Amino acid sequence: MNTRWLRPLAPWLLLVLVGLGAAWLRYGLIEPPALAQLCTATQAPAWCALRQALVLGFLYEAYGFAAVCAAVLALLRRSRTLAWLAAALGAFALQFYNYEPGALALLVGCLRLVHLTALGTQHPARRSEQSRSPAR
């Protein structure tokens, strides 16, 4: 079975999974009022600490800050991993109420990932020709 077509799609599929996981955390763990009441009880389950950490993360805009930092790093370095991380953290931040920084990081990460993927699929002679030409 030939899976060469899967390699370029893998980062995008993983990005969709991150978005779905973040949505599940938000709508399955954070938003339900019954879980909020359960976690405020004196005998709260142990997983309520994770819920509380997630809530504190979006209250202090930690997800948006991390996403923008990853986006800046993705712009400074030629790394597909950093570009993907910026997009993934941006998607996570969007789900967790950090809309402006999350949208910026998602956009920068996706555009950088597309750009670096396109550079990686070019013919080697064309790549070296582009790297020698002066910036306009």
Give the pLDDT confidence of 92-131 residue by residue, as tens digits: 999 999 999 999 999 999 999 999 988 876 555 555 555 5
Q: Which domain holds residue 94?
A: 11-121
Residue 74 resides in a domain: yes
Q: What is the dihedral of CA 70, 75, 78, 83, to 10 degrees?
A: 40
Global confidence as pTM:
0.83
> Is residue 130 in a domain?
no
- CA–CA separation, 85 vs 112, rounded Å? 11
Angle 121-1-10 from CA coordinates, rounded to 5°: 45
| Structural domain contains residue 94 | yes
Mean pLDDT confidence for 70-91: 95
Give the pLDDT score at 133: 58
Q: Residue 4 — pLDDT band, cuts 50, 70, 90?
A: confident
Q: What confidence tens digit (pLDDT) does each residue in 21-58 have?
A: 999 999 999 999 999 999 988 888 999 999 999 999 99
Q: What is the tally of structural domains in the chain?
A: 1
Nearest C-alpha neighbor of 108 from the set 125, 89, 127, 123: 89
For residue 135, give the amino acid letter.
Answer: A
